[in-house]
Amino acid sequence: MSKNIIYIIVSIFFSSCIITNTPGFYSGYSKLTEQEKNNIVFTEPDFDICNLQNDGKIYAISGTQLKNCILKEQKSLVYFWDPYCHSQKCYSVDLMQKFCEKNGLALFVISEYYDSEKMKVDVLKLKQYPMFSINEKYYKTRYCNRYYTLFVKDLLSDQIYKKDDIYSSFFIFENGKLKSTSFQIQ
């Protein structure tokens, strides 16, 4: 009996190593080519990202840097984009861009992890700001769930929110204040 339990535990451990080496569990940065890595700019914590134009690069930022830009916008939407998400709550960058233009929202797209094939198509679609990613060097972890949580806590510092709001893909702000973590595309 105990040999079976040990076998099951060892099997789960080794199969999880295969699963955890995929983008979405880890950032995927280490799997990028040198040329792809050169397209990612890891910003310093005091670097002002608010005046960046979309130059085709991806800027790795902190939640505090994004919060500083949101304070300058009347209305904004932060969208955590997952390149391979297929749920009903995952929208294309194109659709989000159109929604924000129609509703007068500044759009901030934050890629949850790196996938160069999907990103190179969608990065250039953004009109107001470049695509951002979470600065794994700043948060000192390659683990997506960990750096995502730290990023959102920085983004929402000084805000009133529910515990479950941290796990949302959408954050709507008005005059720097969090208004909602959900919405309907119409």
**What tokens appear for 13 in the block?**
């451990």
pTM: 0.85
Phi-psi group of 28: left, alpha or beta (phi > 0 → left; psi -120 to 50 → alpha; rest → beta): left
- What's the N-to-C CA distance of the chain in angstroms? 57
Q: How many Å apart are CA 68 and CA 72, to the nearest integer?
A: 7
**What tokens appear for 20 in the block?**
């955890």
Q: How many Å apart are CA 162 and CA 135, to the nearest integer?
A: 24
pLDDT over 90 percentage in the chain = 63
Contacts of 169 (CB under 8 A, 6+ apart): 79, 80, 81, 82, 89, 90
Contacts of 165 (CB under 8 A, 6+ apart): 156, 171, 178, 181
Look at residue 160 in the predicted model and tell me its pLDDT: 86
Mean pLDDT by 10 residues, the chain (186 residues): 51 41 76 94 97 94 98 96 81 92 96 84 84 97 95 94 87 96 75
Contacts of 73 (CB under 8 A, 6+ apart): 106, 173, 176
Q: How many Å apart are CA 36 and CA 53, to the nearest integer?
A: 19
